[in-house]
């Protein structure tokens, strides 16, 4: 599969498939395609349906196959932001925020990822439940706002504000750390009580405008009625 990512701030990934090649996507992600793209909808089994429900994803996914020659299909992001393309191979895994899956090769597997430390999950900003992707192929994830990538060395630490973690390689450890300073800092500092603590080695992808913050930013401008 060959692909290119275009558009800003509502990006699209345009995938060009060889004859017989297929790609899967989240429900409603398809924007346009050539007429020879055949679609089928599947669940992947009861276990996967349950996991998708926990992470906020649709319990169904669509698989598109290029029939009778090469085909093209495009997938669009649902919020202003970026599309992160990751090549999975050699046992590499990606752990991402809930509802981040956009599309992937059909060889990519998605499962529910429960944070090892209960406190890290509940207080670290991304919730106790995340998504884990493995397999061999191309993976496309939705990022809220702009995207910044860091590669952490072994033992290197990055403190991340609530909601700013979009994705990380499976080798990165996630924990929580209390905001430094006294109670006053935590109550009136506007940064909450905890930060997400990421420890390398591995890549992390951070987002500048989590959709929850975007909703809060535009809320004052939304009419509430007569």
List, in order of start, the domains of the chain with CATH numbers: 2-217 (3.60.160.10)
Residue 78 is predicted with a pLDDT of 82
Give every residue of the chain whose pLDDT is below 70, as ranges: 44-59, 115-128, 180-193, 225-226
CA distance 54 to 98: 9
Residue 15 is predicted with a pLDDT of 98
Residue 186 is predicted with a pLDDT of 46
First to last CA, the chain: 52
Residue 128 is predicted with a pLDDT of 62
Residue 226 is predicted with a pLDDT of 57
147: left (phi over 0), alpha (psi -120 to 50) or beta: beta
Residue 155 is predicted with a pLDDT of 97
pTM of the predicted structure, to 2 decimals: 0.83
Q: Are 162 and 194 in contact (CB under 8 A)?
A: yes
Label each residue of 20-71 as H, E or C.
CCEEEEECCCEEEECCCEEEEEECCCHHHHHHHHHHCCCCCEEEEEECCCCE
Q: Which of 174, 172, 181, 109 has the alpha carbon at shortest distance from 139?
A: 109
- Find the Cα–Cα–Cα–Cα dihedral 165, 124, 118, 49, rounded to 10°: -40
Residue 59 is predicted with a pLDDT of 66
Q: Are 130 and 55 in contact (CB under 8 A)?
A: yes
Residue 34 is predicted with a pLDDT of 98
Residue 156 DSSP label: -
Residues pairing with 60 in the sheet: none
CB-based contacts of 131, cutoff 8 Å, min separation 6: 55, 57, 95, 96, 97, 98, 100, 101, 110, 111, 112, 113
pLDDT tens for each residue of 169-200: 999 999 888 776 555 544 444 455 678 899 99
Residue 221 is predicted with a pLDDT of 79
């Amino acid at each position: 599969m060959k692909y290119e990512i275009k558009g800003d701030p509502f990006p699209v990934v345009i995938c060009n498939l060889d004859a017989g090649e297929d790609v899967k996507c989240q429900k409603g992600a398809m924007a346009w395609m050539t007429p020879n793209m055949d679609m089928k909808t599947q669940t992947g089994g009861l276990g996967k349906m349950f996991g998708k429900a926990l992470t906020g994803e649709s319990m169904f996914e669509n698989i598109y196959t290029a029939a009778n020659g090469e085909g093209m299909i495009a997938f669009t992001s649902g919020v202003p932001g970026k599309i992160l393309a990751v090549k999975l191979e050699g046992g590499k895994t990606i752990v991402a925020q809930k509802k981040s899956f956009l599309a992937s090769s059909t060889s990519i597997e998605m499962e529910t990822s429960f944070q090892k430390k209960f406190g890290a999950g509940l207080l670290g900003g991304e919730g106790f439940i995340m998504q884990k992707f493995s397999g061999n192929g191309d993976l496309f994830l939705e990022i809220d706002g702009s995207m910044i990538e860091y590669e952490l060395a072994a033992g290197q630490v990055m403190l991340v504000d609530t909601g700013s973690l979009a994705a990380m390689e499976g080798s990165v450890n996630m924990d929580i750390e209390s905001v430094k300073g006294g109670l006053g800092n935590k109550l009136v500092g506007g940064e909450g009580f905890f930060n997400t603590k990421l420890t390398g080695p591995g890549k992390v992808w951070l987002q500048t405008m989590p959709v929850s913050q975007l909703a809060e930013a535009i809320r004052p401008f939304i009419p509430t009625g007569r």
